[in-house]
């Protein structure tokens, strides 16, 4: 059975994890075309080679990211999501509009 | 230290371990902790203790436990004079016998002492302050998880039948935690030896308690292990000196 | 005790003080403790063990190592036991398999004469036309196919599994494995050494290395003593490593336990399989590998024959000839396929000194059977075919034993499972294993290293590499391997005969011609030849056919063997009992704290995912009546249901409302404290995935419920989203921390009024969708006024371990008001009457909120929620279907079931998602997807039910029951 290193819990059998999809940039839902949006929702890139993926350690519900080669199934690195997501995400412009309407 | 009061029928108390009927049916005797009961003796004290030295399973659901979580949790707990483990997946025994387990950078599980003395970890005032503490939240660990103890020399030999991580003493010394899967369910494993006797605490979803108890008993068959009461754990603690903290 | 038994010290495995009697084919035999079935029979001169699969040819000992199908026998409890591995025990009843009549005289042995008419791929060619004919033939053929009988009265045994963990795992306890284990353990590694045999030693136990350095016995003893005494080496014998899986996860099977080994490093030192020469009648009993003869002599003290001929292409044949002579076998001749070496060789000198006639460049043309046809009587030998077309003159040598020593194939299976590549080295005429993954090494003859000193050194070298990979800095000082070690493989030990029966694959009775024809039929790649001809697909999985197969394919195609490729090896390495997979499996189950109260009340429990839930209370045969009665009691008095399985998530922090605003479609920013709000969750594609209610307990504290099956996924998706948004919010799945009870019905308030002193339960102070924190008999309870079943109702959420006490309190207090428990079935009907959907039952992988008339639960002013853009797109695209309520007035009509189709003019236009007879409404009611234009009240639809019957139904306005919501708002 394959093993995966969880940044919080260390090396564990893959059966302790659940796959959470590819990590990729999300188009701006307010401005992108319908086509770009449906690409984002329905089409996985399934690139052959090195990709970044979301994985969750089930017993701790800990989400993290993994750099994996989809051809060789080699795992190069796992790291906390905070390495890529450092800023709070706000939908502020629109938020202000909503506040006005309240 | 005061003796825990005897309770004849755990079903008469408002708070009931998921296993109390099982224990009643096997003729266990109980002691009361707060408004819950703990199986104190399964057979006789010498019998329970002998079993526990080899391989015993004990239901500690009746003991108190709680959890604190959030980015503000470490600071708040330190303010309450708890000694905290430096890293996730380690536990620290407090001078009063309470065990503080660090489950992640900002999540802590607090287990009451085995004598049942540490009934409340916080004053009501503390808890009120917790509500306003920046980003620290109480978790209802007292009811979310069961707390079973697997104790005895054969404990790790039995557990490797159910668990895919190495719980041998070199890889998994005292006070180390593994949050893993045992018998197909998520379990927090904490090693907390009683004197020189190996002991693993298993905490799993409380609704799975009966399932886990039965799986463990079945896996213990070949080692002639069985259920023991809390008193046996007290004996093990008393007879063998607890290693210096 | 018998004519073939040799005196001690022969017989390493035997305990001669313990004779054992058993039966074979109804006849009684006696052997010693330690004997295998085959060795005990051989000691008694019973060489015939089985009949071959296809032609029912007589077969006997071939490898004495469990590597061939010749020895398959039937044991009382177990078919297809390997007679050369299975040990005898007192009164064991062994019978033969695949025999028609008796083993000695098999009625079907005439099939061999038909072989000309049973060409390769006979079945593919013969039975596929006309269409359907195979079905007829199959019944007849299947009677002939398949081996062994299953004992259906078998009692289950205790089989278990166990995980174990090592720094280095060494597979194979021969000289290379012993040396690897010692080197690794001496350097401080924790080592597991596994061997399928009863004792360690491997080839040291039976081969003679008379020309290698130290004498064999001394070297063997030294290695074994050190290994057995080493504290860091765990030895498992009688243990088969049956599979390699990713990251060095290996299955090791012992008698009643399956070990799942995780090893940081793996060293495979599994040795080699000796290969047969291919000539006419090479399958006769009495013809065996040289290693089989040596095993018989040394392990079991069995003289393998009286008069022997040795056919060899390497020096191992000479070594075997010497051993045979010592054991009292008369070696008639040694046929060496090679040219006479220019310089002499110590082995040659020794053999010739014993007066054995050695003929170089000599082959066996065919073997000749005894009068019964069941044993070797002579071999016809001749000079090696020079290829000039002229047949050489043959001479006949009488013998009852022919040993073959023409080369080896490495035990490649595990290494290839690990990703290793088996390729053919034309210069050494041998398979070599290459391209092994990281942390996996091979040693000894498996690594094409030959000679005892070399093999021992190679084990050490493999251990050195493993230690380096473990991060050990100081490499141990190791002996080096002599690069000049010679390959024992003879390149072409294949001698086709005009009359065939030169077997390439003994399991499947495949002859040279079959392989040649398969290639000529167009199946050129070795993988295709395998599937077409079934070569290597029998029980021995190509162990002694893969090499000859590759060579034959290469020659037929006129290419080099290295270009033909080889077949793929997959787990398991050898046959395994189903019991090993079946032993200790897990069926997790969850029970609420009130579980046994339901049992005591006679509930029929059902499984909802991993949870046990009461379906209804009472006897199964009264099911329908009981469900309607439970419904009726909720509608007229008050009912109580355990809803502890309902998901619960605490969302706390200054961003709690903002977070819910993003996760659910409704608006939560302005939700007042003390109020609950319906919460509908959709995914990024706009599809409904869960629902519940969000209770605002404090400004920054929400308690959100979720469906039983959905809550874990909901909580996980919340955590994943917030890993990206980084809002100041804490998310905790507290499902099991709270038990929950729904008390519903016109009398619900009265029950609670008596119990809950600290909450004003009055209608004006505790209205519909309000949330309160209170206490009942000292138990802290969250009360939520909800209306899932369409009556005045309260959900009570309390810490789990108070569940049973709380249930008792409510049941007692409700006695005066006619309280009765109701189960999941009644709840489903109640909510259906009220037109409430169940996510997952009434929704599918395409359902969006507008289709189920939930536009009201979607905020139009929020800047963002998960799925907003998709829902906007779906709205633009227009509705394709709607979920509508239907009613069947005809009391006689059969009730539609879930997923029955809505039919219009013979076309499918929709499907039923929920349907039930409602005693409340005195009609069959249900929900169905229909096209939007057909979803208006008054529309007539027809539903195709069991047996193709069409039932007429009418679309009606939802809800069916209490459309003005007067009852839940009481």
What is the DSSP track for chain A? --EEEETTTEEEEGGGEEEEEE--PPP-TTTS-HHHHHHHHH-----SSEEEEEEEEGGGTEEEEEEEETTT--EEEEEEGGGT--SPP--HHHHHHHHHH-
Residue C171, beta-bridge partner list: C194, C268
What pLDDT is recorded for position B245?
Answer: 37
Angstrom CA distances, C251 to A5, C171, C180, C302, C640, stand at 22, 11, 20, 34, 51
Q: Which of C247, C261, C727, C859 to mutate to test the interface with A (most CBs of A within 10 A)?
A: C247
**Is the Cβ–Cβ distance between C733 and B139 less than 8 Å?**
no
Cβ neighbors of A32 (< 8 A, separation 6 or more) are: A40, C869
**Is the Cβ–Cβ distance between C671 and C677 less than 8 Å?**
yes
Q: What is the rounded CA–CA span in Å between residue C324 and residue C687?
A: 78
Contacts of B89 in chain A (CB under 8 A): 8-10
Q: Nearest Cβ partner of B186 from A10, A13, A59?
A: A59
**Is the Cβ–Cβ distance between C535 and C529 less than 8 Å?**
yes
Nearest CA in chain C to B12: C805
Closest CA to C239 of C173, C189, C299, C174: C173
3-state secondary structure (DSSP) of residue B51: helix
Q: What is the rounded CA–CA span in Å between residue C497 and residue C115?
A: 14
**Is the Cβ–Cβ distance between C242 and C572 less than 8 Å?**
yes
Cβ distance C593 to B16 less than 8 Å, yes or no, reads yes
Q: What is the dihedral of CA C568, C574, C577, C581, to 10 degrees?
A: -50
**Is the Cβ–Cβ distance between B57 and B220 less than 8 Å?**
yes
What pLDDT is recorded for position C567?
Answer: 76
**Cα distance from A68 to chain C (closest Cα, Å)?**
15
**Is the Cβ–Cβ distance between C252 and C195 less than 8 Å?**
no
Cβ neighbors of C130 (< 8 A, separation 6 or more) are: none
What pLDDT is recorded for position C78?
Answer: 85
User: Can you point out the beta strands (E) in C83-184?
Assistant: 93-96, 160-171
User: Can you point out the beta strands (E) in B142-231?
Assistant: 145-151, 177-182, 185-191, 199-205, 226-227
**Is the Cβ–Cβ distance between C720 and A84 less than 8 Å?**
no
Indicate the helix (H) or strand (E) that contains C258: strand C257-268
3-state secondary structure (DSSP) of residue B204: strand
- List phi, psi (to 5°) of C231: -70, -25
Whether residue A58 has pLDDT greater than 70: yes
Report C:727-746 residues touching B (Cβ under 8 A): 728, 730, 732, 734, 736-738
Cβ neighbors of A99 (< 8 A, separation 6 or more) are: none
Closest CA to C173 of C145, C201, C139: C201
Can you read off the two tokens belonging to residue C348?
């040659």
- Alpha-carbon Rg for chain C, nearest whole angstrom, is 39
What pLDDT is recorded for position C400?
Answer: 97
**B-C C-beta contacts closer than 8 Å:** 110
Question: Does B103 reach chain A within 8 Å, measured CB to CB?
Answer: yes
pTM of this prediction exceeds 0.90: yes
DSSP-assigned letters across all residues of C699-739: TTEEEEEE-TTTHHHHHHHHHHHHHHH--S-EEEE-GGGEE
Cβ neighbors of A102 (< 8 A, separation 6 or more) are: C669, C670, C861
Q: What is the rounded CA–CA span in Å between residue C246 and residue B87?
A: 30
Angstrom CA distances, C635 to A58, C514, C747, C792, C919, stand at 42, 79, 10, 9, 11
What pLDDT is recorded for position C121?
Answer: 66
Question: Does C117 reach chain B within 8 Å, measured CB to CB?
Answer: no
Cβ neighbors of C941 (< 8 A, separation 6 or more) are: C886, C902, C904, C909, C910, C928, C930, C934, C952, C953, C954, C955
Extents of the domains making up chain A? 3-101
Q: Residue B82: exposed, middle, or buried by beta-carbon count in 10 A (0-12, 13-18, 19+)?
A: middle
Q: What is the rounded CA–CA span in Å between residue C630 and residue C612?
A: 19
What pLDDT is recorded for position C207?
Answer: 85
Q: Nearest Cβ partner of B207 from C587, C736, C777?
A: C736
What pLDDT is recorded for position C270?
Answer: 97
Cβ distance B104 to A8 less than 8 Å, yes or no, reads yes
**Is the Cβ–Cβ distance between C951 and C922 less than 8 Å?**
no
Q: β-pairing, C676-682 with C688-698?
A: antiparallel
Digitized pLDDT (tens) for each residue of chain B, 245 residues in all: 568 999 999 999 999 999 999 999 999 999 999 999 999 999 999 999 999 999 999 999 999 999 999 999 999 999 999 999 999 999 999 999 999 999 999 999 999 999 988 777 888 778 777 777 789 999 999 999 999 999 999 999 999 999 999 998 888 999 999 999 999 999 999 999 999 899 999 999 999 999 999 999 999 999 999 999 999 999 999 875 544 33
Q: Residue C487: exposed, middle, or buried by beta-carbon count in 10 A (0-12, 13-18, 19+)?
A: middle
Q: Residue C746: exposed, middle, or buried by beta-carbon count in 10 A (0-12, 13-18, 19+)?
A: middle
Contacts of A16 in chain C (CB under 8 A): none
User: Other C-beta atoms within 10 Å of A79: how many?
Assistant: 14
Contacts of A59 in chain B (CB under 8 A): 179-181, 186-188
- Alpha-carbon Rg for chain A, nearest whole angstrom, is 17
Q: Nearest Cβ partner of B14 from C163, C592, C779?
A: C779
Residue C308, beta-bridge partner list: C331, C401
Question: Does A60 reach chain B within 8 Å, measured CB to CB?
Answer: yes
Contacts of C868 in chain A (CB under 8 A): 29
Q: Residue B184: exposed, middle, or buried by beta-carbon count in 10 A (0-12, 13-18, 19+)?
A: middle
- SS3 sequence of C430-453: EEEEECCCCCEEECHHHHCCCCHH
**Is the Cβ–Cβ distance between C823 and C614 less than 8 Å?**
yes
Q: What is the rounded CA–CA span in Å between residue C749 and residue C783?
A: 12
Q: Which of B104, B180, B188, B190 to mutate to test the interface with A (most CBs of A within 10 A)?
A: B180
Please report the domains of chain B, with CATH numbers, ordered by start residue. 6-62+144-237 (3.30.1360.120), 65-142 (3.30.70.1520)
Cβ distance C873 to A42 less than 8 Å, yes or no, reads no
Question: Does C165 reach chain A within 8 Å, measured CB to CB?
Answer: no
What pLDDT is recorded for position A24?
Answer: 86
Nearest CA in chain C to B36: C801
What pLDDT is recorded for position B243?
Answer: 45
What pLDDT is recorded for position C949?
Answer: 93
Q: What is the rounded CA–CA span in Å between residue C31 and residue C41?
A: 8
**Is the Cβ–Cβ distance between C256 and C345 less than 8 Å?**
no
Buried b (16+ CB within 10 A) or exposed e, B17-34: bbbbbbbbeeebbbbbbe
Angstrom CA distances, C37 to B113, B168, C91, stand at 61, 40, 12
Cβ distance C870 to A37 less than 8 Å, yes or no, reads yes
Nearest CA in chain C to A82: C723
Cβ distance A20 to C720 less than 8 Å, yes or no, reads yes
**Cα distance from B166 to chain C (closest Cα, Å)?**
6
Contacts of C861 in chain A (CB under 8 A): 98, 101-102
Q: Domain A3-101: give its CATH superfamily.
A: Folate-binding superfamily (3.30.2270.10)
Please list the rounded mean pLDDT of every run of 10 residues in chain C (970 residues).
Answer: 82 96 95 97 95 90 94 90 95 87 75 68 65 69 68 84 97 96 96 96 83 66 92 96 96 95 98 96 97 96 97 95 95 96 89 95 95 95 76 89 97 93 91 93 95 91 94 71 79 92 93 92 87 85 90 92 81 87 92 98 96 97 97 97 97 96 96 97 97 96 96 97 96 97 96 91 93 96 93 97 97 96 97 96 96 95 94 95 96 93 95 96 96 96 94 96 88
**Cα distance from C467 to chain B (closest Cα, Å)?**
19
Sheet with C72-75: strands ordered across: C27-33, C15-24, C93-96, C72-75, C78-82
Q: What is the rounded CA–CA span in Å between residue C362 and residue C379?
A: 12
List of chains touching B (3+ CB pairs within 8 A): A, C
Q: What is the rounded CA–CA span in Å between residue C755 and residue C763?
A: 16
Closest CA to C475 of C454, C461, C456: C461
Q: What is the rounded CA–CA span in Å between residue C105 and residue C101?
A: 7
Locus of tokens 């391209």: C435
């Amino acid at each position: 059975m394959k093993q995966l290193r969880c940044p919080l819990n260390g090396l564990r059998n893959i059966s302790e994890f659940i796959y959470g999809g590819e990590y990729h940039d999300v188009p701006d839902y307010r401005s992108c075309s319908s086509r770009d949006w449906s690409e984002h929702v329905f089409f996985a890139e399934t690139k052959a080679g090195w990709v970044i993926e979301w994985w969750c350690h089930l017993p701790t519900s800990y989400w993290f990211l993994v750099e994996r080669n989809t051809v060789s199934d080699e795992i190069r690195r796992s790291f906390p999501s905070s390495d890529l997501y450092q800023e709070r995400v706000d939908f502020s412009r629109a938020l202000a509009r909503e506040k006005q309407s309240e | 230290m005061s003796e825990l009061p005897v309770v004849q029928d755990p079903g008469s108390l408002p708070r009931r371990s998921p296993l109390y009927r099982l224990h009643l049916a096997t003729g266990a005797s109980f002691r009361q902790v707060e408004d819950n009961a703990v199986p104190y003796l399964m057979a006789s004290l010498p019998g329970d203790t002998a079993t526990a030295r080899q391989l015993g399973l004990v239901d500690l659901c009746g003991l108190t436990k709680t959890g604190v979580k959030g980015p503000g949790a470490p600071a708040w707990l330190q303010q309450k004079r708890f000694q905290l483990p430096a890293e996730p997946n380690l536990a620290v025994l407090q001078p009063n016998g309470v065990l503080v387990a660090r489950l992640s950078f900002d999540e802590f599980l607090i287990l009451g002492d085995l004598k049942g003395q540490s009934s409340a970890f916080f004053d009501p005032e503390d808890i009120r302050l917790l509500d306003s503490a920046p980003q620290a939240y109480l978790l209802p660990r007292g009811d979310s998880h069961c707390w079973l103890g697997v104790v005895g020399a054969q404990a790790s030999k039995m557990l490797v039948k159910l668990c895919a991580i190495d719980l041998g003493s070199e890889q998994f010394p005292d006070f180390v935690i593994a949050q893993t899967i045992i018998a197909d369910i998520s379990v927090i494993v904490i090693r907390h030896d009683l004197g020189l006797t190996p002991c693993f605490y298993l905490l799993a979803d409380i609704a799975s308690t009966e399932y886990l108890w039965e799986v463990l008993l079945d896996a213990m068959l070949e080692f002639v292990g069985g259920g023991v009461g809390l008193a046996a754990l007290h004996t093990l603690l008393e007879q063998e000196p607890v290693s210096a903290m | 005790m018998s004519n073939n038994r040799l005196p001690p010290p022969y017989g390493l495995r035997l305990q001669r003080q313990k004779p054992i009697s058993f039966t074979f084919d109804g006849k009684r035999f006696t052997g010693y403790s330690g004997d295998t079935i085959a060795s005990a029979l051989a000691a008694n001169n019973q060489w015939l063990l089985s009949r071959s699969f296809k032609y029912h040819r007589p077969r006997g000992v071939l490898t004495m190592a469990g590597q061939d199908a010749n020895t398959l026998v039937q044991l009382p409890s177990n078919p297809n036991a390997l007679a050369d591995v299975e040990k005898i025990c007192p009164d064991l009843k062994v019978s033969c398999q695949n025999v028609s009549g008796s083993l000695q005289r098999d009625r079907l042995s005439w099939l061999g004469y038909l072989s000309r008419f049973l060409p390769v791929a006979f079945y593919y060619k013969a039975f596929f036309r006309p269409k359907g004919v195979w079905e007829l033939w199959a019944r007849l053929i299947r009677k002939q196919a398949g081996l062994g009988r299953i004992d259906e009265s078998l009692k289950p045994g205790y089989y278990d599994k166990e995980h174990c963990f090592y720094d280095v795992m060494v597979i194979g306890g021969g000289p290379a494995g012993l040396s690897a284990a010692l080197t690794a353990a001496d350097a401080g590694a924790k080592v597991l050494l596994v061997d399928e045999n009863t004792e360690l030693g491997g080839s040291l136990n039976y081969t003679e290395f008379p020309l290698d350095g130290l004498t064999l016995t001394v070297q063997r003893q030294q290695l074994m003593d050190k290994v057995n005494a080493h504290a860091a080496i765990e030895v498992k014998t009688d243990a088969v490593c049956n599979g390699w899986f990713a990251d060095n996860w290996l299955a090791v099977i012992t008698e009643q336990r399956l070990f799942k080994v995780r090893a940081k490093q793996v060293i495979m030192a599994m040795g080699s399989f000796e290969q047969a020469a291919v000539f006419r009648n090479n399958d006769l009993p009495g013809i065996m590998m040289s290693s089989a003869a040596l095993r018989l002599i040394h392990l079991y003290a069995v003289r393998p024959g009286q008069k022997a001929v040795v056919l060899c292409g390497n020096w191992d044949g000479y070594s075997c000839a010497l051993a045979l002579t010592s054991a009292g076998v008369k070696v008639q001749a040694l046929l060496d396929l090679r040219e006479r070496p220019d310089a002499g060789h110590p082995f040659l000198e020794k053999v010739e000194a014993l007066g054995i006639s050695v003929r170089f460049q000599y082959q066996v043309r065919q073997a000749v059977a005894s009068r019964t046809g069941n044993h070797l009587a002579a071999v016809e030998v001749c000079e090696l075919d020079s290829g000039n077309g002229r047949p050489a003159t043959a001479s006949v040598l009488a013998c009852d034993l022919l040993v073959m020593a023409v080369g080896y194939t490495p035990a490649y299976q595990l290494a290839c499972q690990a990703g290793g590549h088996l390729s053919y080295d034309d210069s050494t005429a041998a398979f070599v294993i290459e391209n092994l993954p990281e942390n996996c090494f091979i040693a000894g003859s498996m690594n094409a290293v030959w000679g005892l000193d070399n093999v021992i050194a190679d084990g050490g070298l493999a251990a050195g590499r493993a230690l380096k990979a473990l991060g050990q800095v100081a490499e141990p000082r190791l002996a080096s391997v002599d690069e000049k070690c010679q390959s024992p493989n003879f390149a072409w030990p294949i001698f086709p005969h005009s009359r065939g029966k030169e077997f390439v694959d003994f399991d499947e009775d495949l002859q040279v011609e079959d392989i040649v024809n398969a290639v000529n039929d167009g199946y050129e790649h070795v993988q295709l030849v395998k599937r077409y001809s079934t070569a290597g697909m029998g029980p021995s999985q190509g162990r002694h056919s893969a090499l000859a197969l590759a060579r034959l394919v290469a020659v037929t195609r006129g290419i080099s063997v290295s270009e033909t490729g080889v077949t793929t090896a997959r787990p398991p390495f050898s046959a395994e009992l189903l019991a090993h997979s079946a032993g200790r499996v897990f069926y997790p189950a969850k029970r609420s704290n009130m579980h046994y109260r339901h049992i005591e009340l006679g509930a029929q429990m059902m499984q909802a995912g991993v949870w046990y839930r009461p379906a209804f209370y009472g006897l199964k045969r009264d099911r329908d009546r009981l469900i309607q009665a439970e419904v009726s009691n909720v509608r007229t008095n008050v009912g109580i249901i355990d809803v502890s399985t309902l998901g619960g998530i605490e969302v706390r922090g200054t961003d709690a409302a903002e977070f819910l605003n993003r996760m659910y479609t409704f608006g939560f920013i302005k939700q007042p404290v003390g109020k609950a709000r319906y919460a509908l969750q959709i995914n990024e594609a706009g599809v409904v995935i869960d629902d519940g209610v969000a209770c605002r307990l404090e400004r920054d504290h929400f308690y959100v419920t979720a469906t039983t099956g959905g809550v874990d996924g909901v909580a996980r998706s919340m955590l994943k989203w917030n890993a990206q948004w980084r809002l100041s919010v804490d998310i905790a799945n507290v499902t099991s921390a709270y038990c929950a009870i729904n008390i519903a019905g016109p009398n619900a308030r009265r029950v609670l009024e008596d119990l809950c002193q600290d909450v004003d339960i009055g209608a004006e102070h505790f209205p519909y969708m309000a949330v309160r924190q209170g206490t009942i008999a000292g138990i802290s309870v969250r009360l939520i006024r909800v209306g899932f079943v369409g009556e005045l109702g309260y959900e009570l959420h309390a810490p789990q371990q108070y569940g049973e006490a709380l249930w008792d309190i409510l049941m007692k207090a409700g006695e005066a008001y006619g309280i009765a428990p109701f189960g999941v079935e009644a709840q489903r009907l109640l909510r259906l009457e009220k037109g409430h959907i169940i996510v997952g039952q009434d929704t599918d992988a395409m359902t969006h909120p507008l289709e189920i008339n939930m536009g009201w639960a979607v905020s139009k002013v929020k800047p963002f929620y998960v799925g907003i853009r998709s829902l906007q797109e779906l709205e633009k695209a227009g509705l394709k279907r709607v979920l509508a309520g239907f009613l069947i007035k005809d009391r006689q009509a059969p009730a539609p079931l879930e997923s029955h189709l809505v039919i219009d003019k013979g076309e499918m236009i929709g499907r039923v998602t929920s349907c039930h007879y409602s005693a409340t409404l005195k009609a069959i009611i249900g929900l169905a997807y229909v096209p939007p234009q057909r979803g208006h009240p008054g529309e007539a639809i027809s539903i195709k039910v069991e047996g193709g019957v069409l039932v007429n139904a009418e679309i009606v306005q939802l809800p069916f029951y209490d459309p003005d919501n007067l009852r839940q708002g009481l």
